A and B are shown apart, each in its own frame.
Chain A
Amino acid sequence: MKSYSLILSILLYGFLVSSVAAYERLKLATTTSTANSGLLNYLNPVFEEKSGVRVDAIAVGTGKALKLGQNGDVDVMLVHAREAEETFIKEGHGVNRKDVMYNDFIIVGPASDSAGINGMDDVILALRKISEKSSLWFSRGDDSGTHKKEMILWKESAISPSGNWYRGLGQGMGKTLLAADEKGAYTLTDRGTFIALSTGNKIGLIILSEGDSRLFNPYGAIAVNPERHPYVKYKLAMKYINFLTSTEGQSLIARFRMKGKILFHPHNGS
């Protein structure tokens, strides 16, 4: 009885596993902002339909996404940290970086706004005020694109943030926003994730500072360098990048809405 069921289960398992590997797969490392907003679920099926390739989206912070590319564990990346991307290319880990789309960062916080930054369009002044008042600030603290951006902004403000008011959470954008909402803290966020959470009535934080040109948030696609990692699916990666930057891909991005709101603007938009 026992040996019979054992053999049966092994056969069954073999069948299950073999039924999986029917498609060619392209591994995409990307940021939580593109995956959690639903953009990839909207774009990738169109690409998959045309190419017959499955896109495996692995959503992590930009820092980790680039690391996965550097290790050759993915084929292509869609990330947002221009400086880190340029270093990545310069060091020879990636090739053919293309601009795909953009949105912007915003500073959000509790409606009570203890630092009094509401309506300030100079983000540097806003940050200085927050640190002067020691208003609670939650940082991603996870080497993501947003975290990298935050550190650049603090540096420009000539502030090295530390103390009781400054907390690095080591969490993704969604969790950081939820935590900031619970504790009445300020934080820097990409607009997409903020819209996703606030239109769902998940958080009561409001936008306090926006519109500074420093808050521009461009997303780029990069193929992993096939000379470094010969087994990466470079041709497929380029096919995917070309799709994202094609007229079709760009107009799909332009038409993407989440709960009626625009989250991303195509790079070649009108």
Chain B
Amino acid sequence: MTFLFEGFLEGLQMVFQGNPAVYNAAWVTLKVSFGSTLIASLIGLPLGYFLASSSFRGKGFFTVLLQTLLGFPTVVIGLLVYGFLSRRGPFGFADLLFTPSGIVIGLVILAFPITTMFTMTAVSGIDPRAREMALTLGASRQRTAWTLFKEVRFGLISALLASFGRVASEVGIAIMLGGNIEGYTRTLTTAIALESMKGEFGFGIALGLVLLTLIFITALLSRYVQKL
């Protein structure tokens, strides 16, 4: 245990002395996590609302499909997207493999089922009469959706946080689509994977602490947003 502890202290020192590798990895993590959560909520919020407030043939099956996607292994997403982004794949021309944008594409696939399902659950929880009432009072469809969203903002923010936490902490997609390039696509999680490979366990744990701190700050900020 002592070797872990000593390494951990050493790692903390590196973190606080402003090791550029740590800041770079934290920065890349924030960038790709923020970007992918944003895109995933642009898909998931409307889709979740639609699923909760309408009924159509095959809705049950579609919901089960989305629930299955919640368990999509990240390495499989990484492999699939690699196939599409590789120069030999259909989107090879865009040169997105081993770039931060490449990571974001994979992360969006990971995150949109989360934002969708959370939104659907939150909106389903509202008394259906509230929606009817809003429509009866002459609110447009968009206006109604907006009112309901405000009603369940706690649930929606949970959707964003769950998605952010998931994408910030995953490692398979980031390493397969980003390539773990130092200062460019190296995220905190892929840096931890690398440090553990090198036997620098303490430093790895210190990096893990940085990641948890980032997620903690995000949760704090969103708590503030909820109260607005």
Contact = CB atoms under 8 A, between A and B. Distances in A.
Do A and B actually bind? yes
Interface of A: 1-2, 5, 9-10, 13, 16-17, 20, 25, 27, 32, 36, 41, 54, 56-59, 71-74, 172, 174-175, 177-178, 196-197, 200, 202-203, 229, 231
B190 to A, nearest CB: 11
A177 B184 CA distance: 28
B198 to A, nearest CB: 5
A172 B197 contact: yes
A9 B182 CA distance: 26
B31 A16 contact: yes
Contacts of A10: 38
B86 A71 contact: yes
The 3 A-B residue pairs with the shortest CB-CB distance, nearest first, are: A202-B199, A72-B87, A58-B179
A56 B228 contact: no
Nearest to A21: B99
B228 to A, nearest CB: 6
B199 A197 contact: yes
Given A36-B194, A71-B86, A174-B199, A1 B228 contact: yes
Give the secondary structure class of A's interface: mixed
A5 B221 CA distance: 13
Nearest to B104: A17
Contact of B87 (A5, A73, A175): A73
Q: Which interface class (under 10, 10 to 19, 20 to 34, 35 or more) fits B?
A: 20 to 34
Contacts of A9: 34, 38
Contacts of B92: 72
B35 interface: yes
Contacts of B228: 1
Given A17-B100, A20-B100, A41-B182, A72 B88 contact: yes
A137 B199 CA distance: 20
A25 B179 CA distance: 14
A163 B183 CA distance: 43
B118 to A, nearest CB: 17
A107 to B, nearest CB: 20
14 contacts: A2-B149, A13-B35, A56-B181, A56-B185, A57-B182, A58-B181, A71-B87, A72-B87, A73-B87, A73-B97, A73-B98, A174-B197, A197-B198, A202-B198
B197 A32 contact: yes
Nearest to B197: A174
Given A58-B181, A202-B198, 7 more contacts: A13-B31, A20-B100, A36-B198, A56-B179, A74-B98, A174-B197, A197-B198
Contacts of B101: 17
Given A13-B38, A174-B197, A58 B87 contact: no
Contacts of B200: 200, 202
B180 interface: yes
A5 B228 CA distance: 12
Contact of B184 (A54, A72, A229): A54
Contacts of B100: 17, 20
A58 B180 contact: yes
Nearest to B30: A16
Given A13-B34, A27-B98, A58-B179, A73 B184 contact: no
Contact of B180 (A59, A73, A175): A59
Contacts of B93: 231
A73 to B, nearest CB: 5
A178 B31 contact: no
Contacts of A13: 31, 34-35, 38
A58 B35 contact: no
Contacts of A178: 199
B220 to A, nearest CB: 16
A58 B87 CA distance: 16
